[in-house]
Structure 1
């Protein structure tokens, strides 16, 4: 009888041991699966972050590099800094220094009423309009067929105090640059959604060339829908 009880006890103990081992194994598997799932989530998060940093639309890039923000006056003296600030601030509303007439909102009749008849008027096909020159005022106005002013050019004598490096030091690297057939270097900056600034230097090879003249351009004023002409960009 005692021998039978001993055998039953041994069998029961063996069964309990097997049950315990079977229970622990699933527990370890679950822990392993949980850890692997977390690692995958972390990797996915890193990939998404990396991809999103590269996903920049052209419009966003234009916004980052476009409208004039804070300008650098550290590398120019006080006089030049004040002059450049004046150029920038007037350009925000389509004007140049020492002139109250605006690109976009002005018409050439207003200029004639104030200054009298222009000294010269010439149609410039590449510039998309007629240019009226007022020599005594050191100004020229580009106009479309509707007499709207789309560009104001300044030849003010104070501009001779600025050179190419002054402009780049203040405004930063230009968004537009070209060498013309006349060996002029023209650099440009977007001011805001309406206006752009163009600076013209007579010597394209001289990195310290003196500024010859500059202008504020309203590109949309050069569009000619009737002739299917998209107008100027710069």
Structure 2
């Protein structure tokens, strides 16, 4: 088979790709036939009990000024995951990712660890939460989104189902934020251009966040952006 490889790790081998490509679990997001190709996510359970997520794509491409003819979308998402991690933003840890062009199609894989203990912002607001924890959530969310934008990255799909929250600690509880759904993320020339679309999108689609909380988040976010500093 004449195979062209694109990989994020020089140690990636054909056998490793085949191993993951031939590993199946239950569908978390069904494999949809889209205009831009096929894409779906499966849950995988390892022998030691670890939960992984396997995003599988066929002929699915992301086009940009850098890649006008397109690159496998998974590789674009991988770049965003790595960039946000370098900025100190919590994102799913990558176990394996690569793309290959066979004689008939492009195949791409992104295997990530689950975010254990995290729940979506939608789930956060589905249950009563102490006021002090909710206030901490809003500040940490402002810090996280501000850090991303100050670093020049636009999320592209910044709405509650892609924002995840975790509470840690004993008596002194701490709120952590993680971001998912980075397939449409992109790097912008300025923090303003990175922030503009995300802010307007989140403003329109922040439900179930109450309006009072949205205004508190927006004020904290503006403070972060104006100071140019994230604690």
Greater per-residue strand proportion: 2
Tell which structure's C-alpha radius of gyration is larger.
Answer: 1
| Same fold, judged at TM 0.5 (above) | no
